[in-house]
Structure 1
C-alpha cells in the first residue's frame, strides 16, 4: 500500500495575524490525524498595508519560538514539530530578511508573494477596473522581482496564490495561458536551488486544484525541479492535512516519487 503524506509543512496559529487558533490545538489535531510531523510557518509581512480588519502581520519571533519549543517538548512522544516562517516578500525587504535568517535558526523558510506593489489580491481593490489577466500577469512579474532581490528562502509558496481571489478564480486561468512567465519563474527557482510547494489550499478555496496548479507542478518536474514540500496552509485545525490524498496522487502524476521536508534548512526526501 502506498505510503501517504505524513508531514504538513505549511500551517499557522494565533501567532499569525489571520489565525485565532492556539498552537497546541493545531499540534493535537495533527497528532490525532496520525501525522508524523508538522512545521509551523507563521506569517511575517513587514510593511503590510492597513486592512479593514486592522490585521498586523508583524511577528513576535521570540515569543513564537519559545512557545513552539515548549510544545515541541510536550508533544515529543506524539509528533515532530518544526520551526518555520512564511516571509511576505517585497524587494525592499531583502536586507531585513537576510539579517533575520542569519540570526534565527529556522528549520524551514517559505518565501511568498502576498503583496503586489502594495496591494494584496485578497482584497477586491487589486482587481478593480482592470482585466483579470492583467492582474495575474502583474502578480507573476512581481514574483520575478522578489526572487531577483532575495533568494534565501527554501521554497516559493503557493506560486499562483492570486487565482484564489480573482473575480473568476481559475476559470480563465491555466498554465498554458501564462506559460512564458511561469517557465521563467520555475527556471529561475531551479537555478537558485529554491523549491516550490504543493499547497492544498487551492482545494479548500474551491479551485479543484492545488496552488500552483497541476500543470505548473508537472512543468517544474519536467524542467528538473526536485524540491517540493506539501502544506495545507491551515489556519484552523479542520484544514490540517487537507486533501493530502489528492496531493500524493498529483505528485505521482507529475513524475515525483517523493516529497520534501526541511530540517535545519536542509531538504530531507520522503518516499510517497
Structure 2
C-alpha cells in the first residue's frame, strides 16, 4: 500500500438500497487505511423500475435519516477524518425536474451523477442485452449518458462512465474507447464545458472477475486529459467496509500515467485540488 491513499469519494452504507454496511464501520475502515477524507454517497435513483427482486422505493433514499446519522459521525470523528455528505444521483430524462429540486433541498458536499438506467433498463441485469449485440447495448448506454448530462448538470462528477462493461456478457473483452470515441468524446467535452469531472471508480479492479482497469478505462481518462479535463475524484464504490479504498494504489498509478498531477475533493460543492 502506498504511504498516502487519496480520499475515497464514492461509498455506500445501509442507507443505500443495495448495502447493509453500518456507517461507522465504513468510517473506521477508512481510518485504518489512514484516509484523511471520505465522502459517503448514498444511492438516490428516483423512478427505478419495480421488479420481483426490487420492491418499489428500493433506491429512494431517506435523506433525512441519512443526514441525521452522518451529522452524528461528523461530530464524533471531527479532527480524525473529514466525512462528506454526498449522494449518488441516478440520472434519467423524465426525472430532471425532480433531481433538480432534490439537489437544491439538501446541503450536499458532493454529488455524483450516474447513468444506471437506459430507457428503464439497468445494464446490471441480463435482460438489457437480450436480442441485440453488445455493441448495440454499449452504444445505447453511451447515448443515454450523453442525453442525461445534456439535460441535467447539477452534479460534480459523472459516476463510473463505462459502468456497463462490469456486467456485459463478455465484460470488457469486446470494449475499447476507439469503437465508441465519437460518443465518449462528446460526453467528455460536455463534462468539461460544464465544469464537471469524472469518478475514477476502482470497483472493477477488485470485483470478481477483475477487469484489470478502472471505470472509466485508462484510454478514456487519457482522452479526458488530452481534452483539458481536470476534475477527478477517486471512488471505491464500496458497499462493505473491506472494499473502502480498495484498488486505489493501482488507480493512482493509472491516473498518473495519463498525465494527471492532481485529484479533487469537494466540500459544500467546492472543489479542492490535491497533488497526487
Class of the TM-score when normalised by the shorter of the 2 chains: over 0.9
1:78 Cα offset (Å): 2.1
CA deviation profile, 1:72-103 (whole Å, cap 9, x unmatched): 11111321100000000001111111112222
What is the aligned residue count?
A: 271
Aligned to 1:93: 95
- Give secondary structure in 2 for the equivalent of 1:35: coil
- Give secondary structure in 1 for the equivalent of 2:9: strand
- Give secondary structure in 1 for the equivalent of 2:24: helix
Where do 5+ consecutive residues of structure 2 fail to align? none
Give the whole-Å Cα distance in 2 for the aligned partners of 1:176 and 1:242: 28
1:68 Cα offset (Å): 0.1
Structure 2 counterparts to residues 187-266 of structure 1, below 5 A? 187-205=189-207, 206-266=210-270
Give the whole-Å Cα distance in 2 for the aligned partners of 1:200 and 1:96: 29
Give the whole-Å Cα distance in 2 for the aligned partners of 1:52 and 1:215: 38
Aligned to 2:153: 151
Give the whole-Å Cα distance in 2 for the aligned partners of 1:75 and 1:179: 44
CA contact (8 A) 1:3 1:271 kept: no
Aligned to 2:24: 24
Q: Normalised by the size of structure 2, how large is the TM-score?
A: 0.96
- Give secondary structure in 2 for the equivalent of 1:9: coil
Q: Normalised by the size of structure 1, how large is the TM-score?
A: 0.97
CA contact (8 A) 1:228 1:260 kept: yes
Give the whole-Å Cα distance in 1 for the aligned partners of 2:151 and 2:243: 33
Give the whole-Å Cα distance in 1 for the aligned partners of 2:71 and 2:97: 27
